[in-house]
Structure 1
Amino acid sequence: MAAPVLTMACQAYDRMQPLRDGTVRVAGADLNFLDLPVEETFFRMLGFAEFDIAELSLSSYVLTLDRDAPFVAVPVFPSRAFRHSGIYVRADSPLTDPADLAGKTVGVPEYQITASVWIRGILAEHHGVPVSSVRYRTGGLDQPGRVEKVRLDLPPDVDVAPIGPADTLSQLLLDGELDAVYTARNPGPFNTPGGGGVRRLLADPAAVEREYHARTGIFPIMHTLVIRRDVYERHRWLARELVKACTAAKQVGLAGIGETAALRYALPWLWSEVERTRSALGDDWWPYGLEANRTTLATFLRYSHEQGLAARRYEPEELFAPESLAEVVV
């Protein structure tokens, strides 16, 4: 019997590139790997379920569990990022401390996106900024017209409203109509020489993020890998084989990242950052699997429920295909 041809949509990160180029294969399947920007993958998967396997926003995936559960995840996390560095204000803003955000109006691309959930949760739990103390305005960061991909039913004390159809969050920030923006991507003006009138809220966010990890053990998860449920039901073996293949791909993709003889990447002091990362986060600083990520996942699931997104507080085990969690004992 011919192996099934399965289409997987995922950005070709270093830890995923070996799956794209065939260096690592998913046993029992032929993979058609589509290297797509994450926003396009999410839009097409959530709106049309186009792919057999896809990278998906952790927040969006959790919300689908309340709504017919069209996908099932495996404990592979293509994207992670600390998010203290994702809070932006005008260059001339008087705001310098997270606590200053209480009572302010803040832009977010979508209320439910994973980066926003993490930022709001961290600010509420660690900086005294309750979720309901901020007014949220949603829309495109640098292009107008973005809307929530998932229908929301939020508590009445949470003030969320869309910006105008021709507006962008970046321009409203520069115009003074927003006090800050929470975003996974840099606002467009920030990428221009001198920052384009935009700066990060925190003067040294990396130091704050390192302290946060040292205190909590959390390296925030942004995306997980999901299988369309009908594909999973036909090929139950796929969940475990995906985890095995992605784990092997990560090992291949990250091998030599700190090599100094001939720089693999065009960053002259990458070796130093690798050594600092390994010292702070351990040898496997990008872990897959449930147990190594239990605290991170449980914290996110608590935030999602507390913020009025998830209908209930899920347990980490409920997110993943059971085949991908069971241990093989020999």
Structure 2
Amino acid sequence: MRLRTLLGDHACTAALKNGSIRSDLVGFDFVDYTPTNKGFKPMVREGAFDVSEMAIVTYLMAKNFNKPMVLLPDVVMARFQHGYAFYNAKRGVLTPADLAGKRVGIRSFTTTTGAWLRGILANDYGVDLNAIDWITFEDAHVFEFVDTTRRAPAGKQIVQMLLDGELDAILGEKVEHPDLKPLFADVKAEEARWFAKHAVKPINHMVVVAQELSDRHPDVVREVHRMLSEAVTADKSRFRAAEMRRSLECITGYTAEQGLIARRFAVDELFDNVTRPLIGEVH
């Protein structure tokens, strides 16, 4: 069976994309989006792919609105988030405690990195997220979500607005500029403290399959997971089941707290009867 597939170029997908991992049961017709996240909207809104990389917060929001897709227990991108928040040092020092009343830019209010960072700010630094003036640049991938943030003027760029003093801080960007400093002063130390407290490595992207594929061809779905697992193992970056569950529990909680989903899903709810048993194969 040929599967229309969206997967980014990651170390843990390389063996799958270059054909070194093969199957007699399935083949992949890879679709190219640059960056990969540009393909998430057509997957959520149109069911454009059989297999798709997916930002975990986008998936949670899609599930909230009953979109016909299901999660596989396969992580393709995870990272610590503290290094993706910046302020303009030319306008003075800014710390998380100073964010109330400030203008904070973020590409979309629903990005996964943004949700992680807001959760960290609220839960570990006591920041009142409702006291921040959020400035956004893009709609959510999920059409049904009602975004109440303030939209940046058309044509404006997030980093340039920070440099020009039109924003006080930005989340979700990785930039190098002499005037821009990390919101968390010692990023590595903050990441280490956060991990020591939570034992969580933040998941950004996992893999989903169309619900119809899971319903009609469970053997194909299991084979896709086998191949993804083999590719990840080759990269030596596999999440253990308990690690994956902790990360999913954390981001699901943050996403619910921030009003992106109506309630906090249990981890097992994110999978179906085909993909849930596969969690036990993630060692």
TM-score by length of 2: 0.90
Report the equivalent of 2:257: 306
Report the equivalent of 2:169: 180
SS of the equivalent of 2:246 reads helix
Structure 2 CA distance for partners of 1:201 and 1:169, relative to 1, 3 Å: same
Q: Deviations over 1:156-205 (max 9, x none)?
A: xxx6111111212112111112110001x424xx3xxxx15322222321
Q: Deviations over 1:214-272 (max 9, x none)?
A: 22101001111011122222212233222221111012234xxxxxxxxxxxxxxxxxx
2:247 is the alignment partner of 1:296: yes
Structure 2 CA distance for partners of 1:26 and 1:180, relative to 1, 3 Å: farther
SS of the equivalent of 1:321 reads coil
Report the equivalent of 2:160: 171
Equivalent residue in structure 2 for 1:287, among 239, 242, 245: 239
Amino acid at match of 2:145: L
Runs of 5+ consecutive residues of structure 1 not aligned to the other structure: 140-145, 255-284
Taking the aligned partners of 1:68 and 1:211, their CA distance within structure 2 comes to: 37
Taking the aligned partners of 1:11 and 1:100, their CA distance within structure 2 comes to: 37
Kept in 1, the 8 Å contact 2:214–2:274? The answer is: no
2:212 is the alignment partner of 1:224: no
Taking the aligned partners of 1:319 and 1:137, their CA distance within structure 2 comes to: 30
SS of the equivalent of 1:8 reads strand
Equivalent residue in structure 2 for 1:248, among 225, 230, 233: 230
The 5 A counterparts of 1:265-280 are none
2:48 is the alignment partner of 1:50: yes
Amino acid at match of 1:87: A
Taking the aligned partners of 2:40 and 2:111, their CA distance within structure 1 comes to: 11
The 5 A counterparts of 1:130-279 are 130-139=128-137, 146-150=138-142, 151-153=144-146, 160-183=149-172, 185-187=173-175, 190=176, 195=177, 197-254=179-236
Q: CA RMSD in A?
A: 2.0
For residue 27 of structure 1, report the CA deviation from its aligned partner: 5.6
Runs of 5+ consecutive residues of structure 2 not aligned to the other structure: none
Amino acid at match of 2:15: P
Report the equivalent of 1:126: 124
2:84 is the alignment partner of 1:78: no
SS of the equivalent of 2:16 reads helix
Report the equivalent of 1:279: none
For residue 211 of structure 1, report the CA deviation from its aligned partner: 1.7
Taking the aligned partners of 2:68 and 2:179, their CA distance within structure 1 comes to: 43
The 5 A counterparts of 1:94-105 are 94-105=92-103
Taking the aligned partners of 2:251 and 2:51, their CA distance within structure 1 comes to: 23
For residue 26 of structure 1, report the CA deviation from its aligned partner: 4.7
Taking the aligned partners of 1:199 and 1:7, their CA distance within structure 2 comes to: 41
Give the fraction of aligned pairs with identical amino acids, expressed as a percent.
27
TM-score by length of 1: 0.78
Taking the aligned partners of 1:253 and 1:122, their CA distance within structure 2 comes to: 29
Taking the aligned partners of 1:321 and 1:16, their CA distance within structure 2 comes to: 23
Give the number of the structure whose alpha-carbon radius of gyration is greater: 1
Kept in 2, the 8 Å contact 1:72–1:320? The answer is: yes
Amino acid at match of 1:229: Q
More strand by share: 2
For residue 50 of structure 1, report the CA deviation from its aligned partner: 1.6
Structure 2 CA distance for partners of 1:75 and 1:26, relative to 1, 3 Å: farther
Higher relative contact order (CA 8 A, sep 6+): 2
SS of the equivalent of 1:28 reads coil
Larger deviation, residues 61-70 vs 28-37: 28-37
The 5 A counterparts of 1:23-42 are 23-26=20-23, 28-36=25-33, 37-42=35-40
Taking the aligned partners of 1:67 and 1:148, their CA distance within structure 2 comes to: 13
Kept in 1, the 8 Å contact 2:83–2:174? The answer is: no
Taking the aligned partners of 2:184 and 2:249, their CA distance within structure 1 comes to: 26
2:260 is the alignment partner of 1:321: no
